[in-house]
Amino acid sequence: MKKILIIEDEQIVAKELCELLNSSGYESIVLENFQEAKKEIFNISPDLVLLDINIPYKNGELLLQELRRESSVPVIMVTSRNNETDEVLSMSYGADDYITKPYNPNILLLRIGAVLKRTGISLEVQKYKELEIYLQKGIIKRGEKEVNLTKNEMIILNYLLAHQNKIVTRDELMTDLWNNDEYINDNALTVNISRLRSKLKEVGYQDAIETRKKMGYILL
């Protein structure tokens, strides 16, 4: 499980963020000792840091600068300072991404996922049971049987796979699709899911995606 450190001095925001991350399959820790922030980061050694700019003792940009001298841990700046200058500055100090408050929780999760994927090893071939999924080529393969997926179907399958055995809401799927420049509407999402289902059926996984009423879908 990936460990995420939250550096945020607003307790209520930190607490809710923690809850959001935990329910999305991360282990999150809220930094308590801001005075020794850098030392704490090394002690906790997280996989990713969510760093606010307005924090006590040392401003987030300074902390990032100091951190970058010794560590390349992925850092996402999270701030209510919504201007280009701060963003450019943070990125030049070595931040991996920059998100402004208030943020859409789904988008925050996607950006965290993207940074973790970018910094980790991403597999060209994903596996689901006996099924091989070739993301770039848009192909799923089981034994000799090969089926082509459209870009939208691949995005949906990939998202479901990344959240296997968990309920995925339509909202999350939609956000991920739009985040990949596929601006589809509700009907199209329904159509895409039923097409994906029939393609999975072709390779022998007819009941892989289940619908949970009023909640979403789940890949079993």
Partner 1 sequence: MKFSLFLKDKFYFIFTFLGIYFLIISMFFAFHIDFSLILATSLLLFFFVILTLFIEYFKKRNFYTNLLSNIDALDQAYLVLETIEKPEFYDGKILYQALYEINKSMNEFTKNLEYQVEDFKEYIEMWIHEVKIPLSALILISNNHKDKFDKKMSVQLKRLEDYVDQVLYYARSENAEKDYLIKEIRLSKVIKNVGLKNMDELLENKIDYIVDHATTTNVSVLTDSKWLEFILGQIINNSIKYKKEIEDSYIKIQAFDEKNQTTLIIEDNGIGIKESDLKQVFDKTFTGENGRIKGKSTGMGLFISKNMCEKLGHKIEIESVENQYTRIYITFAKNNYYEVLK
191 token code pair = 């159509």
From its phi and psi, is residue 214 left (phi > 0), alpha (psi between -120 and 50) or beta? left
Least CB distance to partner 1 at residue 17 (A): 6
Count of helix runs (H) and strand runs (E) in the chain? 8, 12
Whether residue 4 contacts residue 48, with contact meaning beta carbons closer than 8 Å, is answered with yes
Does 214 contact partner 1 by CB under 8 A? no
Residue 158 phi/psi, 5-degree rounding, is -60, -40
CA atoms 209, 212, 217, 220: torsion sign: negative
Query: In this structure, what DSSP letter does residue 122 have?
Result: P
Q: Which of residues 19, 36, 130, 202 is near partner 1 by CB under 8 A?
A: 19
Among positions 133-172, residues that touch partner 1 (CB under 8 A) are: 171
> Distance between CA 186 and CA 106 in Å, rounded?
17
Does 83 contact partner 1 by CB under 8 A? yes
- For partner 1, the closer of residues 8 and 208 by Cβ is 8
- For partner 1, the closer of residues 125 and 167 by Cβ is 167
Does 103 contact partner 1 by CB under 8 A? yes
Among positions 36-65, residues that touch partner 1 (CB under 8 A) are: 54
Does 17 contact partner 1 by CB under 8 A? yes
Q: How many residues bind partner 1 (CB under 8 A)?
A: 32
Residues making contact with partner 1 (CB under 8 A) = 10, 12-13, 16-17, 19-20, 23, 54, 80-85, 87-88, 101-105, 107, 171, 174-175, 178-179, 181, 183, 185-186
